[in-house]
Amino acid sequence: MRRLRLLTGGESHGPRLTAILEGLPAGLELDREAIDRQLARRQHGFGRGGRQRIEHDTVEITGGLRGGVTLGSPLVLNITNRDWKSWTEAMDPWNVDEPAAAARRVTAPRPGHADLAGGLGTAQTADLRNVLERASARETAARVAAGAACAQLLGRYGIAIRSGVLQVGPHVVHEGAPTWELLGNVDPASPLVTVAPDEEEALTAAVRAAREAGDTLGGVVGAAVRGLPPGLGSHVHWDRKLDGRLVQALLSIPSVKAAAIGDGIEVAGRPGSEAHDPIVPGSRGLDRPSNHAGGLEGGVTNGADLVVRAFFKPISTLRQGMPSVDLSTGEVTTTVWERSDVTAIGAAPVIAEAVLALVLADAMLETLGGNAVADVDAAWSSYCSRLAPWWRPESAE
C-alpha cells in the first residue's frame, strides 16, 4: 500500500491480535459499533468450528483515536483472544510450561496448511505450532477491524461495499460475476449469507453432509463496490495498477486460490465483441450498459461498479485426517484433527470486504492526498467537479 500501511501481529492462541493502521487522515470520526458489527460477521457462518463459540470479538483501540476521532497517528486496534486462558501455559511469550507445550506440539504437518513449508522455511520443524499459530486465519480478525475503519473513510464519500456467497462446495447458486443488485439479496443473518436465500437450506444440508463425512468445503465469494470515481489506481506502471493490488489483497486471504475482476474468467473464452463494455452517453455522464470489465480498465477504476470474486479452497483440516509424515520420527502417519471449521465460506465475504476497503482507501488517499479529513473533503469535491461532465456518482442506497 502507498498512503496507508497495515501491520498485524499476534498468534491465534496468543493474548490478542493487534493491527496498526498508519496513514488515515486526522479528523475522521469512527463508529466503534460499526467495527464490532464487521467482527461479528467474521465469526458468522454455518459450518464453523467450536472456536467461534468461545470468541466474541470486539475491538479495543489503544492509539490514534481521541474522543472517537482519528488523530492522524497510527490507529492501534486490538482484539482479545478469549481462548488465551486455556493456552497460557503452552503459549506464554516468556515462560512456556514444557508439559503443556508438549501436549500442544504438532510434528505431523497438515497438507494444505503452512505447517510443512513454513516449518522448513523458518527452521521450526520441531514444533509446527510455531508456524501454524500465525498462519491461522484468526489473523483476519485484525484485518477486518482495520478494513472496517477504512470502509468508514470510503463511506464518507458515498462509497459502499456489498458481498455474498455465490457457491458452497460444488453447489453454485450464481454463475459468473455478481452485480450490486444481486448482492442486495443477501440476508446478513442467514447461515451462509448467499445471494440466493431460497437455496440456503440446500447449502446448509451440503455442509452438514460434509461434516458427517469428516470432510470440508470451499466456495466462491463475490463483492461489489459502488460509488468509486474513475481514475483510482494507475495505468502508468505495473505495481501501481489497481487490479494487481486488489487481486494480491484477495489472494492474501487464507484459502483463496484464485480471484477474478468482473467477468475475468469468462471473457477468456469470448470474442472481443462480447467481452468489452460499450461507452454511451447516459444520465450520469458517460454510461457503460454492461460491466464485463468489473469497473477496472488498464489498472484504473472506470466509474462503474467494481466487481470481484474470490475462490476459496476447502478447509485443510479434515476430521478424517490426511496422509503425512511425523517430522520427529520420520514415520508415515495420519494428521490429527483439532477443532476446525467444515467451511469458513460464511465468514469469507466480510474478509473480502475488509481487504477491498484497505486497498481502495489507500488508492483514494493516493489520488486525493491530504493529512486532515477536511483536506481530503476539499480534494474530493474538486475531483468530482472536474469529472462531472463525464461521471456523476450513483447512489449506493
Ligand X SMILES: Cc1cc2nc3c(=O)[nH]c(=O)nc-3n(C[C@H](O)[C@H](O)[C@H](O)COP(=O)(O)O)c2cc1C
Residues within the interface to ligand X (CB under 6 A): 49, 112-114, 135-137, 140, 253-255, 313, 315-317, 340-341, 344, 347-348, 351
Where do the DSSP E strands lie in the chain? 5-9, 16-22, 60-63, 65-66, 69-70, 75-80, 160-168, 171-172, 219-226, 256-261, 280-282, 285-287, 296-297, 300-301, 306-312, 323-325, 332-334
112 or 244: whose CB is closer to ligand X? 112
77 or 114: whose CB is closer to ligand X? 114
We find the least distance from the C-beta atom of residue 52 to ligand X, in angstroms, to be 9
8 A C-beta contact, residue 75 and residue 102 = no
We find the least distance from the C-beta atom of residue 381 to ligand X, in angstroms, to be 38
We find the least distance from the C-beta atom of residue 341 to ligand X, in angstroms, to be 4
We find the least distance from the C-beta atom of residue 199 to ligand X, in angstroms, to be 21
Smallest Cα–Cα separation from 75: which of 39, 31, 36, 22? Answer: 22
We find the least distance from the C-beta atom of residue 322 to ligand X, in angstroms, to be 10
DSSP 74: P
Residue type, 118: G
137 or 306: whose CB is closer to ligand X? 137
363-369: list long-range contacts, CB under 8 Å, 24+ apart: 363/232, 363/233, 363/242, 363/245, 363/301, 364/153, 364/154, 364/157, 364/159, 364/232, 365/3, 365/4, 365/23, 365/25, 366/2, 366/3, 366/232, 367/231, 367/232
We find the least distance from the C-beta atom of residue 172 to ligand X, in angstroms, to be 20
Backbone conformation region of residue 176, classed left if phi is above 0, alpha if psi is from -120 to 50, else beta: left
111 or 244: whose CB is closer to ligand X? 111
220 or 315: whose CB is closer to ligand X? 315
151 or 348: whose CB is closer to ligand X? 348
